[in-house]
């Protein structure tokens, strides 16, 4: 035990020395653009609550009413006695929203990705993933037992060569919007490759659903792709929808397979029915209030123009994820702390979340932000760059 303690302390010291130590903040307010964290009043530029729905009165009302009806917990897994009418209604509405035959709820996005990949492929098969995929997709591929291949980020030639080099059942897996870079996967070309090479395609659109597309249908609506182009769609509910949980959407056959084979669905407690009802309310807002997406796009463009004028290096992102590339982890952390002192909460993203030498400030926007808050952040960034 003493040896283990010493080893743990040495590991922690090494992490801190590299500027990679992570700390939690204690939030004492509802999620929103104005946040109370560690006793400080801050303007929040690091949340994934892109449409500002996490604290929306209608979503809260739906949650409270459902808690009165269903209670708090779901009691068990979906396949035992935890699948409520609220869950079932939400699955049907999500399927219709995504233009798919069916949808299946999971308790988290991480579990959706691990469960889907492991249910679809196994020993003797091959999973091929974008090198910048989210950790949950990578872990899903590694835990599936299949051969695990990675192609250079958005590199279609490398993907094609990788597909040509393997035989048997193949699953291509990619993010729709890459969470740390904010760019979009070249899905139309990937979908064509998948069809040409007899591979299935799975897309995690956690950061696109609700945000992209005229109706909020995400990266697939943005590109005009259908279920036949992307057979497996994963979405999360804790970002633009402002609630919690995740889902996989696709054909009836796909969903039945996941019900029978996805261990992270079978062997875990269903999310609370009140969360499902709150998500049904947020889904209505996502579909009805296009102004939220319009405003989000306007704020993002305003920030990009201002940041480029200041001289910061931005990444080619059309999404509300706007990373400012810093490079050095310690410098990125110092920038984040300096912004905190000026009343802004902006995350410093460092390895292993991003590749070595690409530490960054991950600035994210919400439809609840105002232009004046964007301009204040730009002023602070300008002063920081001059120091």
179 is catalytic: yes
Q: Which among 222, 239, 295, 369 is annotated as catalytic?
A: 239
Inter-residue contact 52 to 286 (CB < 8 Å): no
What's the gap between Cα 285 and its chain centre?
19
Q: Which among 47, 74, 136, 179 is annotated as catalytic?
A: 179
Structure-token pair, residue 234: 């994963």
Tokens 């396949």 -> residue: 79
How far is the CA of 153 from the CAs of 56, 150, 174, in angstroms?
36, 9, 10
Tokens 């002023």 -> residue: 379
Q: Where are the alpha helices (DSSP H) in 18-108?
A: 57-70, 85-98
* CA separation for the pair 344, 365 (Å, rounded): 12
Element (H, E) at 103: strand 102-106
Q: Which among 134, 149, 207, 369 is annotated as catalytic?
A: 207
Coil, strand or helix at 28? coil
Mode of pairing for the β-strands spanning 321-327 and 359-364: antiparallel
CA atoms within 13 Å, Cβ hemisphere of 270: 27
Inter-residue contact 210 to 200 (CB < 8 Å): no
Peptide bond preceding 352 in cis form (omega within 30 of 0): yes
How far is the CA of 52 from the CAs of 32, 210, 242, 295, in angstroms?
7, 11, 7, 11
* CA separation for the pair 130, 339 (Å, rounded): 32
Inter-residue contact 87 to 270 (CB < 8 Å): yes
Residues belonging to the active site: 179, 207, 239
């Amino acid at each position: 035990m003493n040896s283990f303690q010493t080893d743990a302390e040495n590991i922690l010291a090494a992490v801190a020395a590299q500027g990679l130590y992570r700390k939690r903040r204690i939030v004492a307010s509802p999620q929103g653009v104005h946040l109370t964290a560690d006793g400080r009043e801050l303007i929040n530029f690091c949340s994934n609550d892109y449409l500002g729905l996490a604290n929306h009165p209608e979503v809260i009302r739906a949650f409270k009413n459902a808690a009165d009806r269903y209670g708090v917990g779901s009691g068990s897994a979906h396949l035992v006695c935890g699948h409520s009418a609220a869950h079932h209604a939400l699955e049907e509405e999500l399927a219709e929203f995504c233009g798919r035959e069916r949808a299946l709820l999971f308790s988290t996005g991480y579990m959706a990705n691990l469960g889907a990949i492991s249910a679809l492929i196994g020993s003797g098969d091959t999973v091929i993933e974008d090198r910048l995929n989210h950790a949950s997709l990578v872990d899903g591929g590694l835990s599936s037992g299949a051969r695990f291949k990675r192609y250079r980020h958005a590199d279609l030639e490398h993907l094609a060569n990788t597909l040509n080099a393997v035989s048997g059942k193949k699953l291509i897996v990619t993010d729709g919007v890459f969470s740390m870079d904010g760019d979009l996967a070249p899905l139309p070309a990937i979908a064509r490759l998948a069809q040409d090479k007899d591979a299935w395609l799975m897309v995690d659109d956690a950061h696109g659903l609700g945000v992209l597309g005229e109706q909020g249908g995400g990266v697939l609506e943005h590109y005009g792709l259908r279920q036949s182009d992307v057979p497996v769609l994963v979405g999360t509910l804790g970002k633009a929808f402002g609630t919690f949980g995740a889902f996989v959407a696709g054909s009836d056959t796909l969903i039945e397979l996941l019900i029978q084979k996805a261990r992270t669905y079978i062997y875990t407690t269903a999310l609370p029915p009140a969360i499902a009802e709150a998500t049904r309310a947020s889904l209505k807002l996502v579909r009805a209030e296009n102004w939220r997406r319009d405003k989000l796009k306007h704020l993002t463009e305003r920030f990009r123009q201002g940041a480029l004028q200041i001289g910061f290096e931005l990444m080619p992102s059309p999404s509300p994820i706007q990373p400012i590339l810093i490079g050095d982890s310690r410098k990125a952390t110092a920038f984040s702390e300096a912004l905190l002192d000026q009343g802004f909460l902006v995350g410093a993203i460092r390895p292993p979340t991003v590749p070595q030498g690409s530490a960054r400030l991950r600035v994210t926007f919400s439809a609840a932000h105002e232009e004046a808050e964007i301009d204040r952040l730009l002023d602070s960034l300008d002063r920081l760059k001059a120091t």
